[in-house]
Structure 1
């Protein structure tokens, strides 16, 4: 008889009454049902709690006062008993075989299984993108380890695209993360063991106006992200990485690890052009940042068409005047909402 590992799925929610039911249903519809489904509501003021209660004993409901994402993820973990723990944001969802595929991907020495997510709009319509997009190649455990040892980082998905071993979590939890738990967990995971990657999507990541990533430091929706804050948070996550590496006797690459992450090279360039950069970045040359971006693109092993788009974007951000860069940034970070509105209008016309 083969013993199956116990699997816990945690769904975290705050005022997502329009989405939380869909997230719960996606977990209850798995081909391999989790052994426990824990739904933590962080003080919602809409009808979320009534929706969660409607599932009765099929889920373990935890209702707490509003304490923020850092608290809710630690609270949720404390309720789990599974050997594998999966987090699902309540505005995202899993495809039916997600838990089954994750279970099969775990093996000796694996501390995390990660997978692609299809990007959808607020109505669940696919936008033709993946997060983070492993579609062009098979990513092996050895390749992730090599990339991490060379750069101090690797490509990983947002919260809903990760599953962690309890052995790993027991060593590092609770975590005092600068923002959400997944940033730190994904950053330090390669120090503790292997990372297995499922290249095809096992769920959906929903982009809408109330995503946490769209909120500025005042809690208001901002189409242009607060790049400086994101850079500061990422630096804090790398500080935590260095602490864990020192504790484990693991030598990290020298230099600024943010230079190895294309996203954050982009953020630094855009922050400079918008005159909103982090104070500690003011001594960086714009052309040096642009060069670091090109190097990161080459290291990323993108499809040639994707790599070309990245090169064009980095070059444009570096060379074009600030007023034009601002306009391009506005277009880029509002394109999902714009395209969703266009599709809604076209759908309305076809029904008229």
Structure 2
């Protein structure tokens, strides 16, 4: 199934300054597929972490670009794995199977870690009985320029498993901002290889793990989350609706289509692994704002009013009942939404773009 070019069956150790052999604490697993243009930056950021704490595995999921040559150039500084294409779930499963450290972090190959990130993550684990430690990510663009935005925009309580059991998805950074206690994650993974579950494997790790452990939060940027797409490539022209994208290559229609499938698959997985029954429907602002965008963006004034009056109950519930938001944030979100009712479509559409993709606010300003 895969070709591993370094031995992985023994515990990884290193000499510290006093000559004592110390077992490494955390494995960074870089999962990559055809990200040649970003891969070296991701690997360099992982290798820049404290070597006495960290080992680096790079899993290439059947890339057809120049990724293999980049991986080979690092020699024995990393543990390289070249495998046939099997999707993100297969890479997550394989990475978890290979690690012999207490903690694991899956770094997307288009993202980066900042210096000292792993030391702070390990310290957080050692001072709390956490199943997961998450940290804020700065949003960067395709050329590694900071946009000024950060994710997530709010932070969850340590005990957010109870809220998930009631259907509320808690605020989490994307995949690269999450580190897991291996023993906790192995209660959720490996993921079945069915196609439906093979998409967005990080969704199952991020939300499933809170049912078996608390969440530790580091509320400062320890890495960069890259927002990019076809428009970032040389000579590419931006598409008319690119600013509505929720994340990389994920427009609002994809969110509306994929989220219910992911939630149902998570329910099945949790029932199989933990014997728990999650609610049939989940509540998540990202999903509800995607519905808002599809209904009112570039729509006639009468259609906007009709949806706000008759179709927006769940959308406003995701704001008003949100257990993770402050009153100020709830008020701001409602006020911004009501701008959609103004007759001027230029104002309405600007408000929708602002709601739909806060990650792109700084990027849009930077490019204009």
TM range (shorter): 0.7 to 0.9
Q: 1:36 to 1:222 in 2, by over 3 A?
A: farther
Residues 15-49 of structure 1, C-alpha deviations (whole Å, 9 max, x = no match): 22222111111111113544421111223333222
* Partner residue, 1:163: 179
**Structure 2 unaligned regions, length at least 5:** 1-19, 232-238, 246-250, 300-306
Distance in 2 separating the partners of 1:192 and 1:312: 37
Q: Is 1:66 aligned with 2:99?
A: no
Residues 135-161 of structure 1, C-alpha deviations (whole Å, 9 max, x = no match): xx7x5413x345435544211110100
Q: Is 1:265 aligned with 2:288?
A: yes
Aligned to 1:100, which of 92, 114, 119?
A: 119
**Runs in 1 of length 4+ with deviation above 6 angstroms?**
none
Higher helix share: 1
Give the total of aligned pairs.
318
Q: 1:105 to 1:140 in 2, by over 3 A?
A: farther
* Partner residue, 2:221: 201
Q: Is 1:141 aligned with 2:158?
A: yes
Q: 1:303 to 1:39 in 2, by over 3 A?
A: farther
Q: TM-score if structure 1 supplies the norm length?
A: 0.77
Give the aligned CA root-mean-square deviation in angstroms. 3.4
Distance in 2 separating the partners of 1:178 and 1:320: 42
SS in 2 for 1:154: coil
**1:274 and 1:322 in contact (8 A); partners too:** no
- Using the TM superposition, give the Cα deviation of residue 303 of structure 1 relative to its aligned residue in structure 2, in angstroms: 7.5
Distance in 2 separating the partners of 1:67 and 1:251: 29
* Partner residue, 1:111: 131
Q: Is 1:15 aligned with 2:39?
A: no
Q: 1:275 to 1:256 in 2, by over 3 A?
A: farther
SS in 2 for 1:40: strand
1:327-342 to 2 correspondence within 5 Å? 329=352, 333=357, 335=361, 337-342=363-368
Q: TM-score if structure 2 supplies the norm length?
A: 0.74
Distance in 2 separating the partners of 1:133 and 1:55: 36
- Using the TM superposition, give the Cα deviation of residue 72 of structure 1 relative to its aligned residue in structure 2, in angstroms: 2.8
- Using the TM superposition, give the Cα deviation of residue 240 of structure 1 relative to its aligned residue in structure 2, in angstroms: 3.1
**2:25 and 2:122 in contact (8 A); partners too:** no
* Partner residue, 1:186: 206
